[in-house]
Amino acid sequence: MSKWTIDPDHSVGAFSIRHMTIAFVHGQFNSVSGDIDYDPSDISSLNISFTIDVSSIITGIAKRDDHLKSADFFDAENYREITFKNSQVERTGFNSCKVSGDLTIHGIKKPVTLEANILGPVKSPFGETSLGITGSIILNREDFGLTWNEPMENGGFMVGKEVTVTVNIEADLVE
């Protein structure tokens, strides 16, 4: 079993959510950190835990970012981190798997399963050995206490409930 550390300069948590029932808003969290235990010869050996700094959210619109950090949504002052710790991995293909574990958002912990791909390891031109993990899931944001919304004239709501989340992780071999 090898130890890996998540490279925060090359890792991101991205999301997409319906806005006003007609379009999608995209954003990302640029501060992802954590540790991985993994034997590349056995995909089911993956043991990953990561933390996302909520204040690192970026959607490209400062006013929207501030609203998402406020108590209406993530309440970054009181819930500074999103965390994930896996409990099980099931191989589903050559480099694909289902990664199950506990996701905590807004202080609410729920079991989830990410559809994931693991690529590598590869050796960089600079000498480090790295691997990549991409995991995706569709969540109901209200399950995590993110319930703010405004009704629309068409009967819909300003912000959709379903959020597509993708975590792209690059991790470097420690030992």
What ranges do the domains of the chain cover? 2-173
Model pLDDT, residue 50:
97
What average pLDDT score do residues 82-103 get? 97
Model pLDDT, residue 154:
85
Provide the whole-model pTM: 0.93
pLDDT in tens, 66-75: 999 999 999 9
Q: Is 33 exposed, middle or buried (0-12, 13-18, 19+ CB in 10 A)?
A: middle
Of the chain, the percentage scoring pLDDT greater than 90 comes to: 89
Q: Which CATH class is domain 2-173?
A: mainly beta
Which H or E run includes 141?
none
* Average pLDDT value for the chain: 95
Cβ–Cβ contacts within 10 Å for residue 107, how many?
11
Model pLDDT, residue 101:
98
What average pLDDT score do residues 107-135 get? 96
